[in-house]
Structure 1
């Protein structure tokens, strides 16, 4: 049989390649929990947009665009396989990738190709399970026993979820969450975590920023330690190191955290520069303390100019905020 295995990123992909699992492996390398996903773009158009976003405004996107094009061509050839197996886990990043991939398959005729999925939130003997990328080759191969067919209900649900995630009105996503989502059992919790990345209605900080600010206030001063401790605060880990460091940088630029030396610098592959990165010391400012104590909000301090799915968060005007207690999205003037 000719088999295609699709999974999140190179870590899990390389383990599958080293295992007894047969077939080709296609890694889905897009960190979809941040950046633009506007509606009404085709897969190829969206891939160009994502490639340019991920490399940044000052870098040449040619290589990234080529990687996305190769991925998309491989996906477009999936009907030439006898079997396709999706390998994913329960966190927000994987659940968003599942939505995009299943949405694509919902509009694709596979003829005689079977489509199965493996999606887990735990593994026997791994009490601190974070994801399939921490498994060894033998453990990974054993997951073939728990794969199940992707049904039409799953495809339809994913298509609706993908449209809601890409909508410019986040109320569409909230409405989707009010429906029956049991066909994709980890999706609801993941999307609720996504909503917590909108600025909090009271503080103006999203959940990641709030966690980082609280950790600095508790005495976690080293940026690498801060990243690791923030990981521990997530029920299902999805935020990588660079998005975390960008959040730290935003807190510094907003005057909630100070860095010694200043300004905050990002890590480098150079050993000397890596040492300098780890030698930085982060401290809570008086403004940061007031925000933590709910004596002041951070709406005017955090310069937002980014996207959450199909929703653009602007630096001025009005923005969407999240009221977790009421589970409501509210508009606020900045």
Structure 2
């Protein structure tokens, strides 16, 4: 490791911690060869921003796609090995739970009468199903945030309904609020 390696890593960390995702996007336009995997890591992170059409990040969309293809087991759906090396297993489980907890959820988890505090991914009676909203998101015909408020963090960027940065997966461009 040289000072140049540390300088580039520091630059990437500062970009991710910034108030907007723009510094991460701008970093893609620079020479990142000193850290050969940094470009793909930055792209993977940017893909987790709300999609310009559906409003969901790439991993969330992968989860909905998995359910759409017939998977109903929450453990299987939330296994991090199926996803983009951005979430670990606990993050993926949290993301699946979060998708089910919105006022207009794209997925339902098991029996709606379950107490959220008692949820355990090992329960055999749990089944994940798509709602009408979930089906329309998989078809890329709706936007999650037209139906629900958003308040989450992406690095140092607080995403809210008023400050919703998005990622256009087709053009690979950052879309400002």
Q: TM (normalized to structure 1)?
A: 0.48
Gaps of 5+ in 2: none
Q: Structure 1 CA distance, aligned partners of 2:122 and 2:15?
A: 43
Q: Deviations over 1:80-100 (max 9, x none)?
A: xxxxxxxxxxxxxxxxxxxxx
- Residue pairs, 1:38-53, within 5 angstroms: none
Partner of 1:54: none
Q: Structure 1 CA distance, aligned partners of 2:58 and 2:27?
A: 21
For the structure 1 residues 267 and 238, does the alpha-carbon distance in structure 2 shift closer, same or farther, using more than 3 Å as the test? farther
What's the CA shift for 1:302? 4.4
Partner of 2:175: 330
Higher strand share: 1
What's the CA shift for 1:264? 7.5
Partner of 1:288: 134
Say which is worse superposed, 256-265 or 215-224, in terms of deviation. 256-265
What's the CA shift for 1:158? 1.6
Partner of 1:297: 143
Q: Does 1:244 align with 2:92?
A: yes
Partner of 1:178: 29
Output the aligned Cα RMSD.
Answer: 2.1
Gaps of 5+ in 1: 1-149
What's the CA shift for 1:326? 1.9
Kindly indicate whether the alpha-carbon contact (under 8 Å) linking 2:45 and 2:86 is maintained by their aligned counterparts in 1.
no
Kindly indicate whether the alpha-carbon contact (under 8 Å) linking 1:217 and 1:289 is maintained by their aligned counterparts in 2.
yes
Partner-residue secondary structure (3-state), 1:212: helix
Q: Does 1:320 align with 2:165?
A: yes
Q: Deviations over 1:155-209 (max 9, x none)?
A: 2212221221111121111111111111111111011100011000011111111
Q: Deviations over 1:207-260 (max 9, x none)?
A: 1110111111111111111123x52243xx342222112211222123211122
